[in-house]
Amino acid sequence: MIRLRGHHLLCLLGYRGMGYSDEFCINMTAIYERLRVQPETEIVMIEGPDDICGHYPKDQHAHCEGASVYTRDARVLDKLGMELGKPVPWSQVTAKVADHVEPGDIQVICASCPWEPYGVCKEGVDIIRRGESLPPAPSRSGGPAAAAER
Ligand code: SF4
C-alpha cells in the first residue's frame, strides 16, 4: 500500500526523473515504476506528508507542511472525488484523471509550483486522457534541486 497526498497523484503523472536529490529520485522512481507497471497496486490518500515527502532532503527547506500544499492536496482530491483513508487501485486514480482533469487544469491547480513550467505534468495528464501508458522513468537526469513543491 502506497500512501499518497492529493497533489502527488498529479506529480506522479509528470515524473520524468527530475527531483530534489538522488535519494528523493530513487524513491520517486520506485513508486512511479511500481504504479506504472502494476496499476492494480493499492494506494491510500492521506492528509499531509506521505511516502514521497518522506524522502525530501532533510537539509533543504521543507515545504511539505505548507498551507498552500495542503490547499493543493484538497483541490486535487475534490476534483477527482477521492476520499482520505480509502484504499483504491492506482488504475482507479488514472481513470478518474482521464474523466475529470484536463491538461490546462495543472496551470490553475499548481500555479505556484516551480515544476509547472516544465510542462511534464500537463503532458502526463494528456497521456492519461489519450488512454496511453506513461513512459518509463529515465535514469537519474538531474533537474532543479531548489526548494519547490513536488
Ligand atoms: S506542477 Fe508541481 S505540484 Fe503540480 S503536478 Fe506538477 S510537480 Fe506536482
Q: What is the pLDDT of residues 70-82, one digit of tens each?
A: 999 999 999 999 9
Q: Tell me the three cell numbers of residue 44.
A: 491510500
Q: Tell me the average pLDDT across 125-142.
A: 88
pLDDT at position 142: 46
Q: Categorize the per-residue pLDDT at 136 as very low, low, confident or very high, splitting at 50, 70 and 90.
A: very high
Pocket of ligand 1 (CB under 6 A): 7, 10-11, 14, 106, 110, 113, 115-116, 121, 149-150
Of all protein residues, the one whose alpha carbon is nearest to atom 4 of ligand 1 is 110
Q: Categorize the per-residue pLDDT at 62 as very low, low, confident or very high, splitting at 50, 70 and 90.
A: confident
Question: What number does the ligand 1 atom closest to the CA of 121 have?
Answer: 6
Summary mean pLDDT of the chain: 92
Is residue 126 within 8 A of residue 120, CB to CB? The reply is: no
Share of the chain above pLDDT 70, in %: 93
pLDDT at position 112: 86
Q: How far is CA 93 from CA 66, 67, 74, 111, in A?
A: 24, 24, 15, 22
Where exactly are the structural domains of the chain? 2-129
